[in-house]
């Protein structure tokens, strides 16, 4: 028998909620456009100056306060996120990059719902190929284009509209919290700062782009800089064996290491334990190779590779992080390099960095079932999915004990692209889905 969370019928209150959001279509478009208009390009280095993050948060805070929410806007300190795997080496500050949490209070006794979105966007310039200023949104053909339209200011507009509509019903027993954070694209420290500040709920919905599918799982990742040694020499000369003082091309030795990477990648992806119903298999791949002998006819004496290691939730260590896969990858590649005489005597060095945790919310939790029930009632997708990378919901799950799911407008393939856009119908449907699910969870 279907539970209340799985009902495919709308109650009169839910129908009024859905119709009310449809009537606010133009308002949702205006809100999305207003958010896109703030230049909130994510920092490319920890000390980079802020952009318009504070102005955006002030704009949203005033709106949410006007709708009846208790709003807090604050700048975390560097100490709030110090010593955490998400925090860049050397620390990071938040001057000019405030976080926002707005609480619509329920009457008491109900489950609480967190709606979370990141306000930072990846870089965008007209000269990259945009047909218009990426921070001047364009509306036409049933879509909004502009940097952040898909990832994820469109989703923020949808969740704000849903939260306001939910609060206006007057029937919520549980609280609805709207949180917007910085620094998702650069590191994840914004969501971490919010979780450590006490932002939490019984359930969380993060409207990252999923094509309105419900995605309760994501992979984690960790990166490694591998330095492969060589020995310089004249590129146009024959050279003796390295034990006789001959040159050794670091690029060639990198190719040997990369053969090991490909062998490990194939092995990982062939394991039965690598099969996940919602996620792509784990992976190891090279994202960058740099070698320079200093002169174009000089054999390079060093090469630097960047490896990306993508892992499933089942591969996480006991604390939810990546120590197990780091040890496995490094051990495997060291053994592989022992098969090359030069690398056996001159082993590469491994520096691990830039770590995010995998996450999975069980599909039978009330949050997942509420969204699936809402989609069923609204004629939206019923397929579950997962994210190949990471999102802030993984931080709330691990740091705050808040089970999270992704559920948002547009499609992840359009994120970070030149000409990024979001369909207007998706914005409205997303707000409706969140609102119906929120009513079923919090009323």
Residues with a known catalytic role = 120, 184
Q: Are strands 113-118 and 203-206 parallel, antiparallel or unpaired?
A: parallel
Name the residue among 120, 119, 100, 76 with its Cα closest to residue 199: 100
Is the distance from CB of 114 to CB of 402 less than 8 angstroms? yes
Contact (CB, 8 A) for 409 and 429: yes
From 28, 346, 14, 388, select the one nearest 208 (Cα to Cα). 388
- For the four alpha carbons of 17, 420, 411 and 215, in that order, the dihedral sign comes to negative
Measured over the CA atoms of residue 60, residue 61, residue 62 and residue 66, the dihedral's sign is positive
Contact 376, 433 (CB under 8 A): no
* Angle at CA of residue 375, ends 19 and 66, nearest 5°: 45
Angle between helices 250-270 and 323-337 (to 10 degrees): 130
With 0-12 / 13-18 / 19 or more C-beta atoms within 10 angstroms meaning exposed / middle / buried, residue 294 is exposed
Cα end-to-end span (Å), the chain: 22
Residue 431 to residues 376, 416, 434, Cα–Cα distance (Å): 15, 22, 5
Take residue 413 and report the two structure tokens written for it: 């393939």
Residues facing 228 on adjacent strands: 303
Burial class (CB within 10 angstroms; exposed 0-12, middle 13-18, buried 19+) of 78 = middle
Phi-psi category of 134—alpha, beta or left, where left has phi over 0 and alpha has psi -120 to 50?
A: alpha
> In the numeric block, which tokens belong to residue 381?
């997708």
Residues in the chain, total: 443
Strands 384-387 and 176-181: unpaired
Record the tokens describing residue 10, joined without a space: 């709308």
């Amino acid at each position: 028998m279907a539970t209340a969370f799985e009902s495919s019928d709308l109650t009169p209150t839910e129908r009024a909620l859905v119709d009310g959001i449809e009537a606010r279509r133009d308002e949702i478009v205006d809100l999305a456009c207003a958010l896109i208009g703030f230049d909130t390009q994510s920092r490319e280095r920890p000390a980079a100056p802020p952009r318009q993050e504070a102005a955006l948060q002030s704009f949203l805070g005033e709106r949410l306060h006007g709708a009846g929410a208790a709003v807090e806007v604050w700048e975390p300190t560097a100490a709030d996120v110090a010593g955490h795997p998400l925090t860049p080496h050397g620390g990071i500050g938040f001057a000019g990059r405030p976080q926002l949490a707005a609480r619509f209070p329920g009457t008491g006794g109900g489950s609480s719902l967190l709606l979370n979105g990141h306000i930072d966007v990846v870089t965008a310039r007209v000269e990259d190929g945009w047909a218009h200023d990426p921070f001047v949104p364009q509306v036409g053909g049933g879509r909004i284009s502009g940097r952040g339209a898909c990832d994820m200011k469109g989703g923020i507009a949808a969740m704000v509209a849903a939260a306001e509509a939910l609060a206006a019903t007057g029937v919520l027993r549980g609280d609805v919290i709207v949180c917007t954070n910085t620094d998702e694209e650069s590191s994840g420290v914004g969501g971490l700062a919010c979780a450590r500040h006490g932002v939490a709920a019984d359930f969380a919905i993060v409207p990252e782009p999923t094509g309105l599918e419900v995605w309760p799982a994501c992979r984690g990742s960790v990166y490694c800089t591998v330095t492969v040694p060589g020995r310089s020499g004249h590129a146009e000369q024959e050279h003796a064996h390295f034990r006789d003082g001959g040159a050794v091309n670091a690029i060639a030795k990198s190719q040997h290491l990369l053969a090991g990477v490909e062998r490990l990648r194939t092995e990982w992806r062939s394991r039965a334990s690598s099969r996940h119903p919602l996620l792509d298999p784990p992976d190891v791949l090279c994202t960058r190779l740099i070698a320079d002998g200093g002169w174009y006819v000089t054999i390079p004496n060093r090469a630097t590779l960047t490896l990306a290691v993508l892992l499933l939730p089942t591969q996480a260590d006991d604390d939810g992080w990546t120590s197990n896969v780091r040890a496995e990858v490094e051990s495997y590649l060291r053994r592989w390099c022992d098969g090359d005489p030069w690398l056996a005597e001159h082993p590469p060095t491994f520096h691990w960095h830039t770590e995010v945790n995998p996450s999975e919310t069980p599909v039978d939790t009330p949050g997942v079932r509420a969204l699936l029930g809402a989609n069923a009632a609204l004629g939206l997708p019923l397929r579950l999915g997962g994210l190949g990378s990471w999102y802030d919901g993984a931080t709330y799950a691990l740091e705050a004990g808040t089970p999270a799911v992704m559920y948002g407008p547009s499609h992840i393939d359009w994120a970070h692209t030149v000409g990024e856009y979001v369909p207007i119908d998706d914005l409205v449907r997303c707000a409706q889905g969140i609102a119906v699910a929120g009513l079923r969870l919090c009323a």
